[in-house]
Structures are given as structure tokens and as C-alpha cells.
Amino acid sequence: MLGKINDRKLPVSPPADAGRPAACRTWDSRLCVIMRLLLIEDETSLLDLVQRSLTRAGFTTDAVGTADEARGALSGSRYDAVVLDLGLPDEDGLAILRDLRGGRDTTPVLILTARDGVEDRVTGLNTGADDYLLKPFAMPELIARLKALLRRPSGALGVVLEAGNIRFDTAGREVMVDGRLLALTAREMTLLENLLRRAGRVVPKRHLEERVYGFDDEVTPNSLEVLLHRLRRKLAGGGFSGEIHTIRGVGYMLAETAA
Ligand code: CA
């Protein structure tokens, strides 16, 4: 039952009466797309149960039972979130998490484990986990927590984001270029953070506007461009090795190195 990686390209078919993806009918309509999860769990019966429940809840899930299979899946696909068991047969689940974060991957990770010590929990969270759920758990709680993670603007909390020679401590709200502190306004930081969390990928303009501006802010069609212009100037002045590209009509992308 494990190692379903080979099937992972098969879409989960929505029920015949569904006009839109299952996720849209079951929860937050703002996330009206199928979310793709990776489940890493070596207990076959639990894995099957969780996978079935998550599929019913509208998620597309790939399931693996070893750290080795997990690494294979993670290197070949991009997931919206990962559910990670710590006690795996071939390796400690934390090693997978450490490698993900070490590789600047901010995919949300929820640890699912029987280890209930405070120290275990702290270690998990410090390694870059976004949430922690103890076994035994109630399925609705797992689903609710995953939804909460996916609603967050981005991945791991308290993680240091890096791209090229820039380093953004998201907890301390500090940006360094080559070890030198870069003075940015709160808005410039929010904009940079959202671009950094998706470095190498295009971030829609609309998404950035929603993150940067509140309901009460006066926003003109040009506001974001003006802010980006200032951010680009400060980054270039600070010696940033990469650049922020404009993808016309779509959004923006932060590249680690200048073209
Ligand atoms: Ca286990």
C-alpha cells in the first residue's frame, strides 16, 4: 500500500455532481484549487486512513512510508504542505525537515508524531515545522490544522529566508545583504518577504497587493509598482546579487542572480 508515488500524476476525480473541485465545496472558497499534500508515515493502516480522509476533504495526497521515498517525492514535485511522521524506519523524520529548510524550501510542514515531550516539540518547531500534532489525534483536527496552514500567506514561521546574498530573518524582521543590515520600511519588508518565500517563481501582483496593503490603505493601480521601484533601488544600493523581474500582466519574480 505504500510507495504510491508512481500513481501520483493521476488526478483525484471529483464526484460527478461537482461543478468545481472538491476542495471548493468543502472549505475555504478562496483556496478554490486542489491542494496537493505529501503524507510521510510508515504505519500502513494509519497512512491509508489519513489519505482516505484527506482525499474526502478535497486534498490530493501522495503517500510514502520511508524517508527515502519522501526525498524522492519531494525532489520530483512541489507540494502545498507535508504531513511528516518523525519515527520512520530508515531515518528520523526531522532529518527530512532539516534538509528541506536547509535547501530554503518553505513548504508548510505539519509534524505528526507520538513523541510528546516538550523538548521534542520545541526541536520540531525550531527545525522549521509549522505545526505539531500528537498521536493519537482526531482526523477533523488534522484537517482543520492543514487548512489553517494553507491559509497562511506562506510557509514556515520564524524561518530565515535566503536568496543569493540576501538573508531575511522573518522573526527578527531583519534583512541583511552580505552580512550588512539593510534599512527597509515595514511595507518594503512585507513585499520582499512575499517575493523571497516564492523565490524563482512568479508571484501574482494581486497576491502581493493583498499582502502589502490593508483594507484601509489607499491603493492606486500604481502603488505596488512605486513600492517595488523603491525596494529594487534599495536592494541594488545594498549590493543584492539578484533582482526582481516584472512579468508583464502577471506579477513579479525574485531571482537569486541577476540575468
Ligand atoms: Ca512511525
* Mean pLDDT, the chain, integer: 81
pLDDT at residue number 181: 95
pLDDT at 13 over 70: no
CA of 49 to the centre of ligand 1 (A): 14
256 vs 13, higher pLDDT:
256
CA of 63 to the centre of ligand 1 (A): 13
CA of 153 to the centre of ligand 1 (A): 30
Alpha-carbon distance 184 to 45, whole Å? 50
Judge if 126 and 147 occupy the same domain.
Answer: yes
Judge if 115 and 201 occupy the same domain.
Answer: no
Domain count within the chain: 2
* pLDDT (mean) for 10-27: 38
pLDDT at residue number 152: 67
pLDDT tens-digit map of 124-163: 888 889 888 999 999 999 998 988 887 765 444 446 788 8
Judge if 9 and 96 occupy the same domain.
Answer: yes
Name the band, by pLDDT with cuts 50, 70 and 90, for residue 171: low
pLDDT at residue number 15: 36
User: 88 lies in which domain range?
Assistant: 4-151
State yes or no: cis peptide before 136, omega within 30 of 0: yes
CA of 100 to the centre of ligand 1 (A): 19
Name the band, by pLDDT with cuts 50, 70 and 90, for residue 24: very low
CA of 116 to the centre of ligand 1 (A): 13
pLDDT at 83 over 90: yes
Judge if 133 and 170 occupy the same domain.
Answer: no
Alpha-carbon distance 189 to 105, whole Å? 20
CA of 43 to the centre of ligand 1 (A): 6
Name the band, by pLDDT with cuts 50, 70 and 90, for residue 26: very low
- Choosing from 131, 151, 171, the residue where a domain stops is 151
Alpha-carbon distance 256 to 259, whole Å? 9
CA of 78 to the centre of ligand 1 (A): 23
For the domain that residue 130 is a member of, what is the CATH number?
A: 3.40.50.2300
C-alpha cell at 98: 532539516
SS3 168: strand
* pLDDT (mean) for 180-193: 92
CA of 126 to the centre of ligand 1 (A): 20
User: pTM of the entire structure?
Assistant: 0.52
CA of 42 to the centre of ligand 1 (A): 5
CA of 146 to the centre of ligand 1 (A): 19
pLDDT tens-digit map of 57-78: 877 888 999 999 999 999 888 7
Cα 2-7-13 angle, rounded to 5 deg: 115
For the domain that residue 198 is a member of, what is the CATH number?
A: 1.10.10.10
CA of 113 to the centre of ligand 1 (A): 7
CA of 142 to the centre of ligand 1 (A): 16
Which amino acid appears at position 218 of this protein? Answer: E
pLDDT at residue number 118: 81
CA of 66 to the centre of ligand 1 (A): 9
Give percent above pLDDT 90 in the chain.
41
Judge if 17 and 48 occupy the same domain.
Answer: yes
CA of 148 to the centre of ligand 1 (A): 24
Judge if 100 and 147 occupy the same domain.
Answer: yes
